[in-house]
Chains A and B, each alone.
Chain A
Amino acid sequence: EDKVVQSPLSLVVHEGDTVTLNCSYEVTNFRSLLWYKQEKKAPTFLFMLTSSGIEKKSGRLSSILDKKELFSILNITATQTGDSAVYLCAVPNNAGNMLTFGGGTRLMVKP
């Protein structure tokens, strides 16, 4: 059974701080690892990391994948209050038709 574990469970920082969110995984046949941001209800896609794309960056957000150690990190620099959300990490199953999500990290950025 595929497994995804995220840490920390929650995090409170002040604007301008840098945060690192962790995601470890166990999967039968690794295809990719996905990061989502969930502000209120609908998760929105951030990054996909694969064997051929182990680093991604978009503005203040960046992510890396360590396939050997089976983990990924999501970095957010110069945090803003708008970054407050739950960040979810997920891996697809071998058939590729479902995602196994971690429990999420709840980030709160204070002004």
Chain B
Amino acid sequence: DAGVTQSPTHLIKTRGQQVTLRCSPISGHKSVSWYQQVLGQGPQFIFQYYEKEERGRGNFPDRFSARQFPNYSSELNVNALLLGDSALYLCASSLVSRPNTGELFFGEGSRLTVL
């Protein structure tokens, strides 16, 4: 069975540009969460979507947005990129809307470098 898949795996952008990251959850999983992991730090929560509705939002500026599609895949968009947006963006999926029981499955991430 395929795990959580993310694309692209690596990308380089310049300041001010916009980026879209994509995530396909494990088949049957209806919840998708996005985390940002800056080098040397732990992942930081950005968004959670369940059944196409936003269920949680972390402390990130409005330049960050996301959506979930009818097939439960998800996109994370970041506008007006800053150098500080350089990070590994992790997508995680789960069966339930409250994945507080260790049921989060992470993808390999998208490594974004902003120059």
Measured CA separation A99–B104 after assembly (Å):
10
* Interface-located stretch among B13-21, B22-30, B60-68, B105-113: B105-113
B42 touches A88 (CB 8 A): yes
Out of A43, A48, A100, name the residue touching B101 (CB < 8 Å).
A48
Given contacts A32-B100, A41-B109, contact A98 B48 (CB under 8 A): yes
Number of interface residues, chain A, beta carbon within 8 A: 27
Out of B40, B42, B106, name the residue touching A42 (CB < 8 Å).
B106
Told that A6-B42, A88-B43, A97-B99 touch, could you supply 7 new A-B pairs with CB distance under 8 A? A41-B88, A41-B109, A42-B107, A45-B104, A47-B102, A97-B48, A102-B42
Given contacts A42-B108, A88-B42, A103-B40, contact A34 B55 (CB under 8 A): no
Given contacts A42-B108, A98-B48, A98-B58, contact A104 B101 (CB under 8 A): no
Q: Whose C-beta in chain B lies nearest to the C-beta of A48? A: B102
Interface residue A57 (Cβ < 8 Å from any Cβ of B): no
Partner-B contacts on A (CB < 8 A): 4, 6, 31-32, 34, 40-45, 47-48, 88, 90, 92-93, 95-104
Measured CA separation A43–B33 after assembly (Å):
13
Given the complex, which residues of B lie within 8 Å of A43, measured CB to CB? 43, 90, 106
Measured CA separation A101–B35 after assembly (Å):
10
Max count, chain A CB within 10 A of own CB: residue among B33, B88, B100, B104: B100
Out of A47, A95, A104, name the residue touching B98 (CB < 8 Å).
A95
